[in-house]
Amino acid sequence: MREKKALLAVLFALPFLLSGCGQFNELQSGSMSRYQERERAYFVLRDSAAHRFFQVWSGGSTEATTGVDFEKNVVVASVYRRSTGGHSIEVSRVSHNSEDIQVNIRERLPEGNTIMMVTWPYVIARVSVPANLQGKPVNFTRSQVQGENGTEMFLRDFIYGEDQTLAGLAMEDLSRRNTEGAPVRLLTGFEAEVITKDHVCPQKETHALATDVSGGINPITVYFCEEHGLYYTAQTTGEGEVMEGPYQPGKNELPENFQQLAQGGRSGYTVSGNQYFVLTDRDSFSFMYGWATGSFDSTPEVDFENGEAVAMAVSWKGTGGYSLEVTDVCYGAGFTQINIREIQPNTGDAVTLATTYPYVIARFQVEGEVRFTRSELKDGVENHLKSLHGADQKTLSTLVEEELHGRLTFAESIAASMDEDLVEGMWDEFYPASTTLPIGSEGLVVTSVGDLFGTGGDHPHVPSLGIYSPADGFFWVQDQDGSLHGPLYPGGPY
């Protein structure tokens, strides 16, 4: 059996032996490409702009690429998706005949235990091209070898190489971003949101140009700065050519003034489904922060007076293992758009079988309307959902009303199932009478409370005022009958 396999391997490799051998050298490789758009990709890059664009996208580095003479060479690139760690790929040989150039991608399979996560091994290599084969197709074959010293097995695959251009790569990156409506992502060191054509790359005058990457629908021109690995988009409007950027291929930048303030798996503020909030003043933020995190005496600083705001996302989940994070804050004409990434349990993970409420809280500079997008990350693969969510702006008044409605409704439902002689003690726990009202104390905030149960409701308690102390996170309530209750803390004990 072994002899038969060896004979098949020799027969498959025979074309390589009978054809000319080409020169090549590896330029870049790794186990986690940021280019993750396909299960397997085999690209041929025939100019410096396409090479540089893909190099930045796959490796994440904006350092200059090794110079390649594209009159005598092409660059080949391959990316695989694998469900575990321990995989790597490399160019093992190049051959050519009168019709094409063939590049073999050797995959080294892992030995022993491996990391159970999705990886994206990739390789980029320079391949010399004889003068008589300039412009000819470049195609690919595959082989596999177990570990460093295993026997190489050539697979019966023949893959046509895909010539990739700057225009094609830029369009793929823009599609990944789902930027119809064009949110602008500004990177560190660039100040202008809209720039003129004469200043496409602020640090360098020369640039590569890819025209109409949209295929004729809402034409977009891409200007690519090879030195810094950044590109700009331009669209013609009634006011002339409007440019946006810069963008870094494959990367969404968070602004400098962004800061994630808190995250966790069990928010005290509970929801059904997914909900998104914006808080634009200190009082509403400290109330909600304490309610969600359970921390009432250490609210982070936010510069609300100078245009900062707080974004919060909360989700309901039937099990543990979930978390939320902010991955992108971008700005467009009259709006701020925030992406919430939901990190889900990987396949096979053990999770808590209980309801959880993952949440994230972050501060950011707000411009215009705030809206949210969402993505889901599972097994190392991120899926960007094509949905747009509005933000629910919370004030101290609406939060106090919401807290009291939940508290009193919950207490009343408990009272309905209790013996009458126990009900009074139950109300003392959920809505205790207060002997002192801290009116006049420094730093208190008084807010009115609307009719929580509808006009004419027969609820035993009808709040009219909320008195909140941001310094320690507690609040008091005055009912319409003048009775006082508190101190209460948001979300407890129900």
The secondary structure of 365-398 as a DSSP string is E--SEEEEEEEEEETTEEEE----EE-EEE-HHH
Q: Is residue 252 part of a domain?
A: no
- Domain range spanning residue 294? 259-394
Q: How far apart are CA 342 and CA 323, in angstroms?
A: 6
pLDDT value, residue 116 = 65
Q: Indicate whether 416 and 430 sit together in one domain.
A: yes
Q: How far apart are CA 465 and CA 463, in angstroms?
A: 6
Q: How far apart are CA 16 and CA 19, in angstroms?
A: 5
pLDDT at 180 over 50: no
Q: Indicate whether 157 and 51 sit together in one domain.
A: yes
* Cβ within 8 Å of residue 421, ≥6 positions away: none
pLDDT (tens digit per residue) in 209-228: 666 666 665 677 788 877 77
Q: Is residue 34 part of a domain?
A: yes
Residue 248 token pair: 């870094």
pLDDT value, residue 196 = 37
Q: Indicate whether 364 and 420 sit together in one domain.
A: no
Stronger pLDDT, 429 or 437, i.e. the higher one: 429
Q: Indicate whether 191 and 178 sit together in one domain.
A: yes
Cα–Cα distances in angstroms (integers) from residue 432 to residues 81, 407, 408, 436, 486, in the given order? 59, 12, 12, 12, 6
Domain boundary residue among 394, 416, 446?
A: 394
Q: Indicate whether 213 and 277 sit together in one domain.
A: no
Q: How far apart are CA 263 and CA 171, in angstroms?
A: 34
pLDDT at 188 over 60: no
Which alpha helices (DSSP H) does 280-395 contain, by range?
282-293
Contact 232, 195 (CB under 8 A): yes
**Using 50, 70 and 90 to split pLDDT, how confident is the model at 425?**
low
pLDDT at 456 over 60: no
Q: Indicate whether 267 and 212 sit together in one domain.
A: no
Residue 228 token pair: 């810094």
How much is the mean pLDDT over the chain?
Answer: 80
Percent of the chain with pLDDT over 90: 34
Domain boundary residue among 107, 134, 164?
A: 164
pLDDT (tens digit per residue) in 269-281: 999 999 999 999 9
Q: Hey, how many other C-beta atoms are within 10 angstroms of the C-beta on 25?
A: 11
Residue 370 token pair: 């705030």
**Using 50, 70 and 90 to split pLDDT, how confident is the model at 192?**
very low
Q: Indicate whether 149 and 15 sit together in one domain.
A: yes
pLDDT value, residue 191 = 31
Going by the DSSP 8-state scheme, the letter that residue 161 receives in this structure is -
- Orientation of helix 166-177 relative to helix 48-59, angle to 10°: 30
Q: Is residue 493 part of a domain?
A: no
Q: Is residue 155 part of a domain?
A: yes
Number of domain units in the chain: 4
**Buried b vs exposed e over 343-356: b needs ≥16 C-beta within 10 Å?**
bbbeeeeeeeeeeb
Q: Is residue 253 part of a domain?
A: no
pLDDT (tens digit per residue) in 133-161: 999 999 999 999 987 778 899 998 899 99
Q: How far apart are CA 384 and CA 377, in angstroms?
A: 9
Q: Indicate whether 190 and 229 sit together in one domain.
A: yes
Q: Indicate whether 373 and 413 sit together in one domain.
A: no
| Cis check: omega of the bond before 432, within 30 degrees of 0 | no
Does residue 169 come out as left (phi exceeding 0), alpha (psi in the -120 to 50 range) or beta? alpha
Contact 81, 87 (CB under 8 A): no
Q: Indicate whether 432 and 454 sit together in one domain.
A: yes
Contact 53, 83 (CB under 8 A): no
Q: Indicate whether 72 and 148 sit together in one domain.
A: yes
Domain boundary residue among 366, 394, 422?
A: 394
Contact 310, 261 (CB under 8 A): yes
pLDDT value, residue 198 = 41
Q: Is residue 254 part of a domain?
A: no
Among all chains, which residue has been given the structure tokens 């053990």?
A: 350
Angle, CA of 240, 243 and 247, to the nearest 5°: 165
- Sheet of strand 445-448, all strands in order from the earlier edge strand to the far edge: 445-448, 463-469, 474-479, 484-488
Q: Is residue 279 part of a domain?
A: yes
Contact 76, 93 (CB under 8 A): no
Q: Is residue 187 part of a domain?
A: yes
What are phi and psi for residue 379, nearest 5 degrees?
A: 55, 35
Q: How far apart are CA 86 and CA 418, in angstroms?
A: 61
pLDDT value, residue 45 = 96
pLDDT value, residue 460 = 73
Q: Indicate whether 349 and 390 sit together in one domain.
A: yes
386: amino acid identity, one letter = K
pLDDT (tens digit per residue) in 383-395: 777 677 889 999 9
Contact 54, 124 (CB under 8 A): yes
